[in-house]
Structure 1
Amino acid sequence: MRVPCAVFVLFSMACLHGRLHAQSAPLGGSVALTSQLVDRGLPITATTPVLQAALRWDSPGGWSLGAAGASELRSPRLAEGMLHAAYSWPLSANWQMQASLLYYDAPRRGRARSYRRAEADLAWIYRDVFTLNLAALRPLGSRAGRTNPAAEANLRWPLSSHLSLLAGVGVARFQHGSYGYYGEQYSEYYRYGQVGLAWSAGRWHVELDRIATRDAPRSRRGTGGLSPWLASVSWSF
């Protein structure tokens, strides 16, 4: 019986969570179902249900380590995987900063090239309401790859005890030859953004976003393009 990679990852995380919970370790995670995988405004999968799982460990000193994986429900192959380490520290009563390093891998099928990158991020966070993020992305596995800048701003404005308004904009430089594009003409820099609503209650979180990109290349072969709507439901533990 073929089981999606994200299910296997979640099972492993649950086992690890159970062992460390007995030691009172600050470990948590989530499992989510989303309509499409999107990375900085670009489609990673087709418009099809995707199962995601994530695990995160936080220390009292501000350090955190995490791992995540995702796969389409119709396929057992890994569609996305990442590892990250971060350190957070307060600037004032309302502001904090976070510096992080991330390894990202998006395997491909057929003729499309796999996309792997290392990423360094620096974020300014205001009371979990506003976040400004600056990043440097370095593609791996290609001699022609170069470090690409990216910037993103996100707002999460509470409307009620359970409902929030979401909005975000970003700009990034697209790496030639990445994501499996072939012979396409496009601007090196592109812009993306989204607006949506999020509902949270207890361990559950439901989100619906309207997303768009400008000056980005067409989707890689086989994805079917970027859906203008992105829906997700998640459960945290």
Structure 2
Amino acid sequence: MSQPVVTPPPSASSAPALRAESVTRTYGTGESAVHACRDVSLTVSAGELLVIKGPSGSGKTTLLNCIGGLDQPDAGHVWLGGNELTGMREQDRVTLRQTELGFIFQSFGLIPILSAEENIEVPLRLVNTDPQDRETRVNELLERMGLAQHRNQRPSQLSGGQQQRVGIARALANWPRVLIADEPTGQLDSNTAATMMDLLAELAHLERVAMIVTTHDPLLMKRADRVVELHDGNVI
């Protein structure tokens, strides 16, 4: 009997920022089973903005959860640099998410009682960043995002676009290798959404972050370096 072929993990020096191989995720069993991801493979390089498009229910969010270490695929492998997320202990995945991954949410996900500055600080505090280094990084991100004058305002005092800028700054705080954004412009008007995608593309290229973004908007896909389409859990 022939032995199964096992693909070795990429070495840390030559690895893309993120690599997913044959990722499969199914919810439920039997006739009621939902095949959210079916044998999905992709790679994303440092400085690349990859857009994943597809209708609702196509598996976009499930794929992001699997490649971001928030969920475990039933089959397949995910590497973040030279580290394999799949099969990793939960605490190790938590540590990797805190240091190597940034997440941007459609609903912004800001802590209401914290100011813009304090929201950006959260990831840095979680990994016990030196207070002086933390202050320097937060000030840098506030300036870059055009939020310096809004640093003391809480989310309820900010516009939707400003809240999303705070969310992006927070996601970038720990210099992540990969930034994952699930419909980041879904609650923004078209002009603000276009500006936000321009900002994400600029950040991907300047910060050399591998950025993976889901969206329904064909106009926003023009900002992407590459587009992948999902349908019923399959890459088309």
Higher strand share: 1
Higher helix share: 2
Where on the TM-score scale, by shorter chain, does this alignment land: which range? Answer: under 0.3
Q: TM-score, normalised by structure 1?
A: 0.25
Q: TM-score, normalised by structure 2?
A: 0.25
